A = this chain, B = another copy of it.
Amino acid sequence: MTIETEHTVEPLDELKDALQEGNKQQLETLCNTLSPSETARAVLRLDSEDQTQLLTLLEPKDAAEVITTIPEEEAAHFIEELPTDQAAPIIEELRSNHQADLLNYLTESKAEQILESLSTENASEIKQLMTYPEDTAGSLMITEYLAYPEHFNVDDVLADLRQQGETYADYAIQYAYVISKAGKLMGVLRLRDLLLSVKTSPIEKLMISNPLCLKDHAHLNELQDFFNQYAFLGVPVVSDDNVLVGIVSRFAVEEAVKQKANKIFLKVSGIVGGEEYRSMSLFSRSSRRLSWLSVNIVLNIVAASVIAFYQDTLEKAITLAVFLPIISDMSGCSGNQAVAVSMRELSLGLVRPKELWRVFSKEAAIGIVNGIVLGCLLGGVALLWKGNPYLGLVVGGALATNTLLAVCLGGSIPLVLRRLKVDPALASGPLLTTITDMCGFFFVLSFATIVLSKISG
């Protein structure tokens, strides 16, 4: 049976109908047949009351599945609306790393209430996970894993596997870990090796000793490097004193890398302070966008003040006003290309933040070539339009110079920001365009001032 996802009735309407009738059975069937994106799309479009009712009617396990289809920030809103005694069992059904992520999005009081209703062990585990900074092994790891004491033999392990089969089915297991009495990581067992072993062998003999592992504070970049280097599905995570604290799966790392790429895309486009979905309130969407736009408008006014400074020149050669936005926009485009290449090379590790000179010289070469080509193009247009070679020289020369400046800056800014520990995705664009705008206006208008008598009127 191949997967087909076509519906004649809109899932949203079906969902609304089932909610209106309070038909629990139908809700369950719906949630099991819809694809994750269909579920998310429908659930996010319900009004707040219906969302609460849906999570209330469903069994905690099903409700948890609905929750995982939805972006975490939005899911946190749902949980916030639920009474604690209904929210807690749903949280309990989630994977440990999702639990921590979700609670981090909740208001502090709500998170505390929920933690109090969970078992002490579970709560302290989640609290521990919540302390790890974003994009570290600790924040990405799950605490559901198989660990056996050193003295076990193959049969002991198989017996446990059989007995706990139900619980373990969710673990997507490939490895089990061998730990000392103090909980220190001693070795790793490949489950497939159990297939081919004598049942009485002690697992100590079967295990791979001194397995590769990562510290809980290891950064996402290290994790990415690790999984690129080794074809493992997971890596054990240990505390500084080598106690096994969790497992980071390859999936979790891939997912985190993907999310990071998306965040970069959003930030570069001016969506800052988290993701935006159109299901969010107008106020939060509008105010978040404005926070970024208002910084930009100030930068824009600063840049344009150069024009005000040269108002006399502009008044005498009004044609230049046509070229000012072109030069500012084109330099921004050229610079942004260089920013993108630097961001990409940084994320792939193909360039290191300190290699400024390498980037600068590579970009300068492009800047000279592209500056000359674009300068000739725009200068040619100016010449043809007004038949004035000086105008062509001013406009073309300014674009050429500014293109060179823009690519050199665009290539370098992400490296410099990275060294200053400022997020390059967020700051590179506004910083770049402000400088290139100012310089672009300055080049056009100062070049024009020099030959003003030849181009005025």
Contact = CB atoms under 8 A, between A and B. Distances in A.
A358 B44 CA distance: 13
Nearest to A349: B37
A117 interface: no
A351 B328 CA distance: 34
Contact of A330 (B277, B297, B314): B297
A278 interface: yes
A225 B229 CA distance: 28
Contacts of A215: 2
A151 interface: no
Nearest to A341: B276
Interface in A210-226: 210, 212-215, 218, 222, 225-226
Interface in A252-302: 254-255, 257-258, 261-262, 264-266, 268-271, 275-279, 282, 285-286, 289-290, 292-294, 296-297, 300-301
A377 B194 contact: no
A197 to B, nearest CB: 11
A307 B300 CA distance: 19
Interface stretch (A51-59, A81-89, A128-136, A331-339): A331-339
A369 B286 contact: yes
Interface in A361-395: 362, 365-366, 369-370, 373-374, 377-378, 381
A212 B238 CA distance: 37
Contacts of A285: 366
Interface in A315-342: 315, 318-319, 321-326, 328-330, 333-334, 336-337, 339-341
A192 interface: yes
Given A254-B258, A293-B330, A325-B304, A3 B318 contact: no
Contacts of A305: 322
A255 B41 CA distance: 24
Contacts of A48: none
A324 B321 contact: yes
Interface centre among A1, A315, A344, by most B CB within 10 Å? A344
B271 A341 contact: yes
A307 B330 contact: no
Nearest to A230: B3
Contacts of A330: 293, 296-297, 300
B350 A44 contact: yes
Given A2-B215, A251-B254, A261-B265, 19 more contacts: A36-B225, A37-B225, A37-B350, A162-B196, A170-B231, A191-B195, A195-B195, A233-B233, A278-B350, A294-B374, A294-B377, A296-B329, A297-B378, A300-B325, A301-B378, A311-B322, A314-B321, A324-B325, A328-B329
Closest 7 CB pairs of A and B: A37-B349, A269-B340, A254-B254, A261-B261, A36-B228, A321-B321, A300-B326
